[in-house]
Chains A and B, each alone.
Chain A
Amino acid sequence: MTSRSSLSLSRVAIYATLLAACAVYLIPLVVMLLTSFKSPEDIRTGNLLSWPEVFTAIGWLKAWDGVGGYFWNSVKITIPAVLISTVIGALNGYVLAMWRFRGSQLFFGLLLFGCFLPFQVVLLPASFTLGQLGLANTTGGLVLIHVVYGMAFTTLFFRNYYVSIPDALVRAARLDGAGFFTIFGRILLPMSTPIIMVCLIWQFTQIWNDFLFGVVFASGDTQPITVALNNLVNTSTGAKEYNVDMAAAMIAGLPTLVVYVLAGKYFLRGLTAGAVKG
């Protein structure tokens, strides 16, 4: 009896804690959503958590007017950058795991430095390089920066994934007559779904949410949505339109949310892949 009641008591405590944690995470989102659907009068009269008197999409429409164009900028930057950096990372990882060469460990070690370099360190050299290449203030330039910066991470992901795959597979394929790219395309890539997903989600989140590179290397019409959102929210003229700010923030945040919901299960699977079988 006592053990039973203490068990249920601890259960209650656990669930209460979990619910409290959920609330901490979810209330800001709820506030954002509610506010984005309120009318300006509603915001002035009600408090933060009050229910909107009328649901209106006016905030969303105005927000889309403000940041919609930049949303497509972000899409045009993010999708090529994510794809290219993932492909390069996969090839790098394949070589570093399966075709060791003299110094490949050192090469990998140096590449890892890229993961620990703060963004700010590369700003000046990167802007100089982009200027020399004639890519300053272009979408292509931002794609290049994100590919180069993301390569260290994607290589790390793929290399560690491929290291856990027995190299007898590659040797068997070589004896079967397959070449470098055939082995990669026919044998390894079909096994790589989990780590591809990890890479895509990671890179998408990084690049979509990037503000610093966007604000430094793009200007005017080529700016990504993060910069546009900042510009919208930080305007000092006119009355604060919180519903528009919130809707714009939601628009900026939705794609990463959608990607995570769609591919999240692969993300967890990919992160733990190789953890069981050394």
Chain B
Amino acid sequence: MATLELRNVNKSYGSGLPDTLKNIEISIDSGEFLILVGPSGCGKSTLMNCIAGLEDISGGAILVDDQDISGMSPKDRDIAMVFQSYALYPTMTVHGNIAFGLKMRKMAPAEIEAEVARVAKLLQIEHLLGRKPGQLSGGQQQRVAMGRALARRPKIYLFDEPLSNLDAKLRVEMRTEIKLMHQRLKTTTVYVTHDQIEAMTLGDKVAVMKDGIIQQFGTPRQIYNDPANLFVASFIGSPPMNFIPLRLQRRDGQLFALLDSGQARCELPLGVMEAGFEDREVILGIRPEQILLATAESRNQSSIRAEVEVVEPTGPDTLVFVELNQTKVCCRMAPDDAPQVGQTLELQFDPSKVLLFDAQSGERLLPGKAQPLEHKVAQFMTG
């Protein structure tokens, strides 16, 4: 049980090379589950190694329970880690693997036995204690690796893409188990993944990273509903958010987004009053499940007719692709409502769910968190 705070953490591998981590600011409460998510090479594993002490940071501070640990060696930090490759000691039995860290900490043999038994029971690996890692399946190795981390009862757990070596079915099972385990133990956890579903399902807080910079830090809900920029919006969500390039128009003090399906056009009212947005190239973002089939009653100026180009049934729902503004747009529908290819649909957009991004910088424009345009332009010019 410990709080974790990263204060302005920087990491570079020498002058001339680009920084691996830039001004990382994260703070989580005791017992929270933090997800570091991003594409490969974004610095998330480096950040985790820095927290573990396996790599030094070039600047900033890492605080656990308000104590700076960035100068400590890994063994003094009281942090346990589960590695992507599990990194089980191949010549030791499962028992030996779990007990190793305890022996290193000079725990009494009787206590070690009790602790190994407790962890083995918790993870249901009691029958495997006498085996070597090579005799275990991937899922069992995964459990042992977790057991090794659990046994020490550290202040913080670190998970480095622990599920990426498992097959799809086992991955879902272990995901649930990790969540269950965390709900029971309530230990502060940092979890690195490139899988946005793991990020959404497991995290209390999510930090989306790219190029060593935190793009957004917030709850999974915030990240999903209120992405800070195009990158976050495109990275989180499957199937991904639709991005439709268009030009904003103003009429009667209202802003409109002009959509064109080839068959029909519609002016989506955005209801934004600020000046300066008209005639701007923007990217309109809308998630596949936010595009609905229009009913006779709901049909209005924000609905548009379009021809179905591709239909992909996935089981629980069916993905329907249409073309708007020369861009493929994915709509998620209930299988029973799914149309045939070539059929014409009447689609309905919820203007309140629509997100706007700057076409050049990718920054989020509207609604809500967007900054005034002058500021954005100034930032764009200087940046």
Closest to B79 in A: A175
Is chain A's interface secondary structure helix, strand, loop, or mixed overall? helix
Any B CB within 8 A of the CB of A187: yes
Any B CB within 8 A of the CB of A163: no
> In the complex where A178-B104, A190-B91 touch, is A172 in contact with B74 (Cβ < 8 A)?
no
Any A CB within 8 A of the CB of B284: no
Q: How far is the CB of A118 from chain B (nearest CB, A)?
A: 39
> Which one, B61-69, B82-90, B190-198, is touching chain A?
B82-90
Docked CA distance A190–B92 (Å): 9
Contact B91 A191 (CB under 8 A): yes
Contact B89 A173 (CB under 8 A): yes
Any A CB within 8 A of the CB of B231: no
Any A CB within 8 A of the CB of B166: no
Contact B87 A168 (CB under 8 A): yes
Of A176, A178, A191, the contact of B90 (CB 8 Å cutoff): A191
Any A CB within 8 A of the CB of B100: yes
Chain B's interface size range is 20 to 34
Chain A's interface size range is 10 to 19
- Residue from A169, A175, A186 having most chain B Cβ neighbours under 10 A: A175
Closest to A171 in B: B54
Of A166, A177, A179, A190, the contact of B101 (CB 8 Å cutoff): A177
Contact B74 A175 (CB under 8 A): yes
Docked CA distance A187–B83 (Å): 16
Of B80, B85, B89, the contact of A175 (CB 8 Å cutoff): B80
**B214 / chain A contacts, CB cutoff of 8 Å:** none
Closest to B80 in A: A175
Contact A176 B79 (CB under 8 A): no
Contact B104 A171 (CB under 8 A): no
Residues B30-62 near A (CB distance < 8 A): 49, 52-54
Contact A168 B84 (CB under 8 A): yes
Q: How far is the CB of B84 from chain A (nearest CB, A)?
A: 7
Contact A168 B83 (CB under 8 A): yes
Any A CB within 8 A of the CB of B81: yes
**A175 / chain B contacts, CB cutoff of 8 Å:** 52-54, 74-75, 79-81, 101
Q: How far is the CB of B96 from chain A (nearest CB, A)?
A: 9
Of B53, B54, B101, the contact of A176 (CB 8 Å cutoff): B101
Residues A167-210 near B (CB distance < 8 A): 168-169, 171-179, 182, 186-187, 190-191
**B49 / chain A contacts, CB cutoff of 8 Å:** 171
**B73 / chain A contacts, CB cutoff of 8 Å:** 174
Q: How far is the CB of B353 from chain A (nearest CB, A)?
A: 43
Docked CA distance A177–B148 (Å): 12
Any A CB within 8 A of the CB of B375: no
Of B80, B85, B100, the contact of A168 (CB 8 Å cutoff): B85
Is chain B's interface secondary structure helix, strand, loop, or mixed overall? loop
Q: How far is the CB of B149 from chain A (nearest CB, A)?
A: 9
Any A CB within 8 A of the CB of B105: yes
Of A169, A182, A186, the contact of B87 (CB 8 Å cutoff): A169
Digit string of B87-112 for contact with A (CB within 8 Å is 1, else 0)? 10111100000001100110000000
**B100 / chain A contacts, CB cutoff of 8 Å:** 173, 176, 178, 186
Docked CA distance A166–B89 (Å): 11
Docked CA distance A173–B100 (Å): 8
Docked CA distance A15–B162 (Å): 53
**A174 / chain B contacts, CB cutoff of 8 Å:** 54, 73-75
Docked CA distance A17–B148 (Å): 56
Digit string of B311-331 for contact with A (CB within 8 Å is 1, else 0)? 000000000000000000000
Closest to A168 in B: B87
Closest to A187 in B: B89
Closest to B14 in A: A102
Digit string of A208-237 for contact with B (CB within 8 Å is 1, else 0)? 000000000000000000000000000000
Docked CA distance A63–B163 (Å): 67
Docked CA distance A175–B73 (Å): 9
Docked CA distance A177–B84 (Å): 19
Contact A166 B91 (CB under 8 A): no
**A178 / chain B contacts, CB cutoff of 8 Å:** 75, 100, 104
**B79 / chain A contacts, CB cutoff of 8 Å:** 175
Docked CA distance A272–B262 (Å): 64
Docked CA distance A169–B101 (Å): 13
Q: How far is the CB of A270 from chain B (nearest CB, A)?
A: 16
**A171 / chain B contacts, CB cutoff of 8 Å:** 49, 52, 54, 74, 81, 83, 87
Closest to B54 in A: A171
Docked CA distance A70–B100 (Å): 48
Docked CA distance A172–B85 (Å): 11
**B81 / chain A contacts, CB cutoff of 8 Å:** 171-172, 175
- Residue from B54, B81, B89, B105 having most chain A Cβ neighbours under 10 A: B89
Q: How far is the CB of B108 from chain A (nearest CB, A)?
A: 16
Docked CA distance A11–B80 (Å): 60
**B92 / chain A contacts, CB cutoff of 8 Å:** 190
Closest to A166 in B: B85
Contact A182 B104 (CB under 8 A): yes
Docked CA distance A178–B91 (Å): 16
Docked CA distance A175–B54 (Å): 8
Contact B91 A176 (CB under 8 A): no
Q: How far is the CB of A88 from chain B (nearest CB, A)?
A: 22
Docked CA distance A178–B102 (Å): 10
Contact B104 A177 (CB under 8 A): yes
Could you write out 13 A-B pairs with CB less than 8 Å apart?
Answer: A166-B87, A168-B83, A169-B87, A171-B83, A174-B75, A175-B52, A175-B79, A175-B101, A176-B75, A176-B101, A182-B104, A187-B89, A191-B91
Chain B contact residues, CB within 8 Å of chain A: 49, 52-54, 73-75, 79-81, 83-85, 87, 89-92, 100-101, 104-105, 148, 152
Known pairs A175-B81, A191-B91 / 14 extra A-B pairs, C-beta < 8 Å? A166-B85, A169-B87, A169-B89, A171-B54, A171-B81, A172-B83, A173-B89, A175-B75, A176-B75, A176-B152, A177-B104, A186-B89, A186-B100, A191-B90
7 closest residue pairs by CB, A with B? A176-B101, A177-B104, A168-B87, A190-B91, A177-B75, A172-B87, A168-B83
